[in-house]
Amino acid sequence: KTGLTTLDIGYKNTGSTKSAITFLDGDKGILRYRGYSIEDLAAKSTFLEVTYLLIFGELPTKEQLTKFTSDITKHTLVHEDNKKILDGFPSTSHPMGVLASLFCSLTAFYPESLDPNRSSEGVYLSIVRSLAKMPTFAAWSYKNAVGHPVNYPDNSLDYCSRFLKMMYALPAEHYEVDPVVANALDKLLILHADHEQNCSTSTVRIVGSSKASIYSSISAGINALWGPLHGGANQEVIVMLEAIKQDGGNIEKWINKAKDKNDSFRLMGFGHRVYKNFDPRAKIIKKAADDVLAKLGINDPVLEIAMKLEEIALRDPYFIERKLYPNVDFYSGIIYRALGIPVDMFTVMFAMGRLPGWIAQWKELRENKEPIGRPRQVYVGTQSRAYVDITKR
């Protein structure tokens, strides 16, 4: 159409990934993991049960879940040499950078993971190791940022409680996990567990398609998630809401800023590449935010600002025409903050939640023996020309 010499940009397969894991309908606001609605799973399931469903395709029986949980618990401890890696990061390091590096280091401790033809037992072992060590690394990345000594996993606790204790326990004080906080975190991790071919999952698939190890593929996904347009948005939402609060709650001013073509500012937590109606996860999280704040007896002024901002934006033609609605990140930061999670750990929480999806999609591409990813392009550069000697340039 534009007279450009378009190359064949067809792909080896249909040009998009085929997957049986997660279904999204962006117009109807539908999200299903292996056919089960996100509403049902968030209300009735647990994070490890949903993790099993995403990775192995079926909800586990009681025995399967008990064995899966026990297998994960066996691998929560990390090699002491990981502390040398941690010590290499200044406390100014963003926890996502520390997490990505610690995760990739697993290829050093488990070099068998580099074998592209690993047995299914070997792949299962790398899956439970990934799930087991993510909370430990996540908590350690936080301890590195605050200059506190790291904690070791307490395997008498459940997945989320174990993480919270590693994150918050201090040698000088007794620490008890608040079950309200642990349950709220478990629900949040379910809501983040997978989301079809988003930026970070596509990254995991393309790295995994070169037969890189599961650990380096996940490490690449962590880095992709870090960006403020993707998983980093939950941190930016709170920064934005705080700025509006500092600005006397002048919401109209910030909405106009987001609409201003000459201003690069975007309403963080709004808009989505796929959801052009509403993000079902945002609806669930918004209600959970209410519940958690009420249960913890917290009155967070930014929640009021968030709800007011949503109300005003959804009436504004600019947002209506562009089908911009709150996404998963818009309310999640408010809950994380209520749970005492510091803002630069919000995206780490997203990574902890998204890990089962990354694993499931990496495993699927391997089982489908998919070819190496190799997107093509439309060349729009200069056409062929003769070389010019430097004396004539």
Q: Which residues are catalytic?
A: 272, 329
CB of 47 to ligand SDX, least distance (A): 16
Within residues 350-379, the interface with ligand SDX by CB under 6 A covers none
Among 266, 283, 295, 312, binds ligand SDX (CB under 6 A): 266
CB 316 within 8 A of CB 255: yes
Q: How far is the CB of 31 from ligand SDX (least distance, A)?
A: 9
Closer to ligand SDX by CB, 151 or 361: give it: 361
Which of the residues 169 through 228 are near ligand SDX (CB under 6 A)?
195, 198
Q: Give the residue with the Cβ less far from ligand SDX, 103 or 254.
A: 254
Contact 201, 221 (CB under 8 A): yes
Q: Which helix (H) or strand (E) holds 217?
A: helix 214-225
Question: By Cβ distance, which residue is nearest to ligand SDX?
Answer: 271
Measured from the CB atom, the residue of 198 and 223 that comes closer to ligand SDX is: 198
Tell me: does residue 233 bind ligand SDX (CB under 6 A): yes
Taking contact as CB under 6 A, which single stretch among the options 13-21, 178-186, 271-279, 299-307 is the one that binds ligand SDX?
271-279
CB of 291 to ligand SDX, least distance (A): 22
Among 43, 229, 239, 298, binds ligand SDX (CB under 6 A): 229
In angstroms, the CA 3 to CA 160 distance is: 56
| Maximum separation of any 2 CA atoms in the chain, in Å | 78
**For residue 30, what are the CA distances in angstroms to 91, 159, 234?**
41, 28, 21
Which one of 156-164, 208-216, 261-269, 298-306 is the stretch in contact with ligand SDX (CB under 6 A)? 261-269
Whole-angstrom distance, CA of residue 349 vs CA of residue 221: 14
Indicate the residue among 79 and 276 with the shorter CB distance to ligand SDX. 276
Question: Contact with ligand SDX (CB under 6 A): which of 86, 214, 222, 267?
Answer: 267
Residue among 79, 148, 230, 295 that touches ligand SDX (CB under 6 A): 230
Residue 379's identity, in one-letter code, is: Y
User: Is residue 286 helix, strand or coil?
Assistant: helix
Return the closest-CA partner of residue 301 out of 251, 236, 234. Answer: 251
Which one of 100, 268, 306, 341 is in contact with ligand SDX (CB under 6 A)? 268
Residues 314-333 within binding reach of ligand SDX (CB under 6 A) = 322, 324, 327-329
| CB 317 to ligand SDX: min, Å | 12
Decide whether 141 or 327 has the Cβ nearer to ligand SDX.
327
Q: Nearest-CA neighbor of 52 among 40, 36, 64?
A: 64
Cβ proximity of 33 and 189 under 8 Å = no
Residue 138 near residue 80 (C-beta atoms within 8 A)? no
Instruction: State yes or no: residue 166 binds ligand SDX (CB under 6 A).
Output: no
Closest Cα partner for 137 from 151, 156, 158, 122? Answer: 151
Candidates 215, 270, 331, 346: give the one binding ligand SDX (CB under 6 A): 270
Q: How far apart are CA 270 and CA 157, in angstroms?
A: 36
Angle at 17 between CA 11 and CA 20, to 5 degrees: 155
Nearer to ligand SDX, 215 or 275 (CB): 275
Evaluate whether 332 touches 235 at the Cβ level (below 8 Å). Answer: no
C-alpha dihedral over 317, 322, 328, 329, to 10 degrees?
A: -80
The yes or no reply on residue 286 touching ligand SDX (CB under 6 A) is no
C-alpha to C-alpha distances, 107 to 77, 99, 115, 127, 371, nearest whole angstrom: 16, 14, 10, 13, 23
Q: What are the Cα distances from residue 192, in Å, to 171, 206, 342?
A: 32, 20, 18
Shortest separation between residue 324's beta carbon and ligand SDX, angstroms: 5
What residue ranges bind ligand SDX (CB under 6 A)? 195, 198, 229-230, 233, 258, 266-274, 322, 324, 327-329
